[in-house]
């Protein structure tokens, strides 16, 4: 593998060429460019006290890949654009990218099994992780991601620290050794992800259930997930005879005792105060108007509607 430098950068740094060479380039072995003449430069790096020095040779070019027409496939185009690559017609003005080219950039690696699970699993994560996963998903497909042990990850070379000589001989210039091997022989991690860390970023959801004596702990599970409540407003159920019977069947003393321990104030909707009922209805009307503007004529299932309400 060869190293390149922009001709403009080389001229701006006043590098003197040491030789010239004619090169052809290909897009990962599939598309060849015309042969062009390149100037060779020698770049020397050293640390501040000049105790460590290294030299390496690079080819100067105006552009690494020749100008190519864009592919109409949106997902591939985004990925190519991210890497600064444009594609040309392969034969007879017919684009056959997926069949004709086995793209090396079509494989992305992560050295964190936890992050890999976040990317590959279609679940509701916390806001920060969900936004990052959505951003990655807009550029790549989750199916092309695979795990790479940290010791083999060339991107960690600088963070681990290295000398100039190690940098010269390092993977950043020629790529890791496994990259030139067949994909079937690439390192595969057998480590299972830490499900605790993976689940820690799951979006906390509200438990929906009919509160009966057998599942009175739903409220406390909700508190454990979302945090302690300070005030609970609810209808008193007297308008619904079935709900009224269930409420009387609950362990009211136990609920009140637990609420007192957690310093939770439970307020019922007093039917005798008309303004209070109107206040509830006013809030409901506001919510409906907002949803009507957002959804229009769209029809959502329950889970989609709950997700939308959480984002409002």
Q: Both 177 and 128 in a single domain?
A: yes
Q: Both 221 and 168 in a single domain?
A: no
- Asked if residue 83 belongs to a domain, the reply is no
- Asked if residue 77 belongs to a domain, the reply is no
Q: Both 180 and 264 in a single domain?
A: no
- Asked if residue 80 belongs to a domain, the reply is no
Q: Both 154 and 179 in a single domain?
A: yes
Question: According to DSSP H, which parts of 74-217 are helical?
Answer: 74-82, 97-100, 113-120, 127-139, 157-160, 164-168, 171-174, 195-199
- Asked if residue 2 belongs to a domain, the reply is no
Q: What is the pLDDT of residues 79-120, one digit of tens each?
A: 555 555 554 443 444 433 333 333 344 455 555 667 777 777
> What is the predicted pLDDT for the residue at 97?
38
Check residues 48 and 136 and name the one with the higher pLDDT: 136
Report CA 250 to chain centroid distance, whole Å.
45
- Asked if residue 147 belongs to a domain, the reply is yes
Q: Both 118 and 156 in a single domain?
A: yes
Q: Both 262 and 283 in a single domain?
A: no
Q: Both 117 and 176 in a single domain?
A: yes
- Domain with 303, as residue range(s), is 278-311
Q: Both 117 and 138 in a single domain?
A: yes
What are 299's strand-pairing partners?
A: none
Domain count within the chain = 3
- Asked if residue 21 belongs to a domain, the reply is no
- Asked if residue 145 belongs to a domain, the reply is yes
> What is the predicted pLDDT for the residue at 248?
55
Please tell me the distance from the alpha carbon of residue 292 to that of residue 288, in angstroms, as a whole number: 6
- Asked if residue 59 belongs to a domain, the reply is no
Q: What is the pLDDT of residues 176-206, one digit of tens each?
A: 666 666 767 766 665 566 666 666 656 555 5
């Amino acid at each position: 593998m060869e190293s390149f430098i922009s001709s403009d950068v080389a001229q701006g740094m006043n590098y003197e060429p040491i030789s010239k060479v004619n090169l052809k380039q290909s897009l990962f072995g599939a598309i060849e460019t015309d042969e062009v003449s390149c100037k060779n430069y020698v770049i020397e790096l050293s640390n501040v006290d000049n105790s460590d020095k290294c030299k390496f040779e690079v080819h100067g070019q105006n552009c690494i890949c020749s100008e190519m027409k864009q592919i109409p496939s949106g997902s591939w185009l985004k990925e190519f654009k991210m890497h600064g690559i444009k594609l040309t017609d392969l034969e007879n003005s017919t684009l056959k990218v997926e069949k004709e080219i086995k793209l090396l950039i079509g494989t992305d690696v992560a050295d964190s099994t936890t992050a890999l699970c976040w990317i590959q699993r279609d679940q509701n994560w916390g806001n920060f992780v969900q936004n990052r996963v959505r951003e990655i998903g807009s550029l790549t497909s989750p199916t092309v991601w695979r795990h790479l042990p940290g010791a083999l990850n060339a991107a960690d070379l600088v963070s681990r620290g290295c000398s100039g000589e190690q940098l010269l001989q390092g993977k950043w210039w020629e790529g890791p050794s496994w990259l030139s091997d067949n994909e079937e022989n690439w390192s595969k991690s057998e480590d299972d992800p830490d499900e605790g860390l993976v689940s820690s970023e799951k979006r906390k959801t509200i438990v929906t259930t009919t509160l009966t004596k057998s599942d009175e702990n739903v409220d406390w599970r909700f508190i454990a997930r979302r945090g302690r409540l300070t005030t609970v407003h609810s209808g008193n159920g007297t308008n619904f005879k079935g709900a009224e019977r269930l409420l009387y069947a609950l362990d009211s003393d136990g609920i009140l005792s637990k609420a007192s321990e957690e310093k939770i104030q439970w307020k019922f909707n007093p039917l005798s105060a008309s303004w209070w009922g109107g206040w509830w209805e006013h809030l409901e009307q506001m919510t409906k108007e907002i949803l009507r503007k957002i959804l229009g004529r769209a029809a959502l299932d329950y889970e989609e509607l709950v997700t939308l309400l959480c984002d409002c």
